[in-house]
């Protein structure tokens, strides 16, 4: 079957690929082969950690059969890839850790199943910070495809820079056209920040919208799955397939029916009140990032939106609050990795306790150990009330700040991160520098609100800058429409790194 589209397959977005497949311009097998070849040709970026060509092509052949039979789903035959934090039957699931090296899950995560039910074809698994803990994707302990040892993911706009994390492999796969769309997870900004740093679109839905079943847990009250793609239009298609209640398998899943988010695109944003938090535009925001964000906000004003000054007074407190609550939950969740039932087990040990100690010492990386120790400390007797309980109280106040702000505005806008992507190794052994980079994404995560990153321009070194949009609970459709209208007025989301 010959390809009649004038664009190369990797230059097509999700909606264009879906339309081309339905119109028999190319087959699902052709699309899958094309993207697998791209993944291998650009493996120097370190985006993929697992490929299984036989499984991918079998899924693509099944998609072609459904297309021929007229029983195609909304994403039938569209190739996607999954962050290696979602368990998958046909690909190893490692969460970027030695602890799970070679682990093969007997089942698929709900998000993976729902996208497959919509017809999506899985290309492979994508690199991420170990157990999704990191802001730079320098913490992975798994060798990417084509590598003999663990290696950081590289930003395709400048391969000497980080892509952001923890969904760095996911962001790079989309930015470098190695997949038209991917899944990511966002605990404190891990969809929005790498999307910003790599010049793509990503959305974290309201906490509980997408099932966490089969998503290897980091912080259970914060982790949320979401799509990353080039445009808001494509993210809407994926999010529609991913969301929906899963009460039998995920106790944090909300009993809110799935929506067709694509139906709400192209709505007018005339009169839309966009809240501008003073705390997001103070000291520490790089001038190049501010200029790009201001430019995007001016576009919104041209489209009829109104900028409204608001305050989120506890923004600065979000960092200490998050880095108490998230490590506390991580220390609890990661206690299951002890070498007994699955995953890595130390070879030489004297007794059960020695096996636990050596297994965890060998299996976990430095950042994971750091967070486990912090979490165990704040949950320990004598410190629980002083740290963990206080952090939970302030978390509630942060959520209340947002509700007060939404009385004055419809959506909130600001930068995703204080700077553009930094150089690989620049933060060295200073984890606090990475933590501080999350200051604008953490408040929304702590409140469980939907948020997204939309390409807004370029800053220092020609690196992408994202605009963050935050909505009230269940307002994903409004966010996606606002992002879509901006993308109709600008072309930042269409630009791609050179040399690819």
Out of 15, 136, 190, 318, which one is annotated catalytic? 190
Which stretch of DSSP H or E encloses residue 331?
A: helix 318-333
What whole-number distance in Å separates Cα of residue 463 and Cα of residue 417? 13
Q: Which residues are within 8 A (CB) of 290 and not within 5 positions of it... i.e. 6 or more apart?
A: 281, 415
Token pair 């938090």 in the structure block, residue: 277
As a residue count, the chain comes to 500
What whole-number distance in Å separates Cα of residue 130 and Cα of residue 126? 12
The DSSP bridge partners found for residue 58 are none
Taking CA atoms, 87 is separated from 70, 104, 169, 248, 440, in Å, by 30, 8, 16, 18, 29
- Give me the sign of the Cα torsion angle 115, 119, 122, 123: negative
65 token code pair: 């059969």
Task: Mark whether 331 is an active-site residue.
Answer: no
Bond from prior residue into 429 cis (ω within 30 degrees of 0): no
Out of 27, 93, 140, 166, which one is annotated catalytic? 166
What whole-number distance in Å separates Cα of residue 87 and Cα of residue 68? 30
Out of 15, 27, 83, 167, which one is annotated catalytic? 83
Strand order in the sheet with 464-471: 48-51, 121-126, 79-83, 181-186, 224-229, 201-204, 451-458, 464-471, 411-415, 273-277, 306-310
Task: Mark whether 231 is an active-site residue.
Answer: no
What whole-number distance in Å separates Cα of residue 433 and Cα of residue 344? 31
* Strand stretches in 84-215, DSSP E: 121-126, 181-186, 201-204
Please report which residue ranges of 243-308 form alpha helices under DSSP H.
Answer: 287-302
- Give the residue among 90, 110, 205 at the shortest CA–CA distance from 449: 205
Q: Centre a 10 Å sphere on the Cβ of residue 223 and count the other Cβ atoms it contains.
A: 25
Quick check: 367 and 134 in contact, CB under 8 A?
Answer: yes
Quick check: 79 and 9 in contact, CB under 8 A?
Answer: no
What whole-number distance in Å separates Cα of residue 296 and Cα of residue 1? 42
Task: Mark whether 166 is an active-site residue.
Answer: yes
Angle, alpha carbons 269-274-280 (nearest 5°): 150
Catalytic sites, residue numbers: 83, 166, 190
């Amino acid at each position: 079957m010959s390809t009649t589209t004038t664009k190369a397959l990797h230059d097509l977005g999700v909606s264009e690929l879906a339309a081309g497949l339905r119109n028999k311009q190319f087959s699902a097998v052709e699309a899958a082969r094309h993207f697998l070849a791209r993944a291998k040709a650009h493996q120097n970026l370190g985006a993929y950690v697992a490929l299984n060509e036989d499984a991918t092509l079998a899924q693509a052949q099944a998609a072609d059969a459904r297309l021929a039979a007229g029983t195609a789903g909304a994403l039938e035959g569209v190739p996607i890839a999954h962050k290696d934090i979602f368990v998958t039957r046909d690909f190893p699931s490692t969460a970027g850790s030695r602890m799970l090296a070679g682990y093969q899950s007997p089942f698929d995560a709900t998000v993976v199943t729902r996208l497959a039910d919509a017809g999506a074809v899985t290309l492979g698994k994508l690199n991420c910070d170990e157990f999704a803990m990191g802001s730079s994707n320098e913490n992975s302990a798994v060798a990417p495809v084509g590598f003999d040892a663990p290696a950081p993911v590289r930003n395709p706009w400048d391969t000497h820079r980080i892509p952001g994390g923890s969904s760095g492999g996911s962001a790079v796969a989309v930015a470098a056209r190695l997949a038209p769309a991917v899944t990511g997870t966002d605990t404190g900004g891990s969809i929005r920040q790498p999307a910003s740093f790599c010049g793509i679109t990503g959305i974290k839905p309201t906490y509980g919208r997408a099932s966490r079943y089969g998503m290897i847990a980091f912080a259970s009250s914060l982790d949320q799955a979401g799509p990353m793609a080039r445009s808001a239009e494509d993210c809407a298609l994926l999010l529609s397939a991913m969301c929906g209640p899963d009460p039998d398998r995920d106790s944090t899943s909300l009993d809110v029916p799935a929506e067709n988010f694509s139906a709400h695109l192209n709505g007018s944003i005339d009169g839309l009140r966009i809240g501008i938090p003073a705390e997001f535009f103070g000291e520490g925001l790089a001038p190049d990032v501010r200029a790009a964000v201001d430019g995007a906000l001016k576009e919104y004003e041209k489209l009829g939106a109104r900028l409204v000054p608001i305050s989120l007074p506890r923004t600065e407190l979000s960092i200490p609050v998050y880095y108490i609550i998230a490590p506390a939950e991580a220390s609890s969740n990661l206690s299951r990795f002890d070498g007994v039932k699955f995953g890595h087990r130390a070879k030489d040990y004297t007794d059960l306790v020695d096996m636990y100690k050596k297994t965890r010492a060998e299996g976990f990386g430095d950042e994971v150990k750091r967070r486990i120790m912090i979490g165990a400390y704040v949950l320990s007797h004598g410190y629980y009330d002083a740290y963990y309980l206080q952090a939970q109280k302030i978390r509630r106040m942060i959520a209340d700040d947002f509700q007060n702000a939404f009385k004055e505005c419809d959506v909130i806008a600001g930068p995703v991160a204080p700077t553009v992507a930094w150089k690989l190794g620049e933060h060295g052994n200073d984890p606090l520098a990475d933590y501080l980079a999350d200051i604008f994404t953490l408040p929304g995560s702590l409140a469980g609100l939907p948020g997204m990153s939309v390409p807004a321009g370029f800053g220092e070194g020609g690196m992408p800058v994202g605009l963050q949009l935050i909505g009230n609970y269940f307002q994903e459709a409004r966010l996606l429409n606002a992002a879509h209208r901006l993308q109709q007025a600008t072309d930042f989301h269409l630009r791609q790194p050179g040399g690819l």
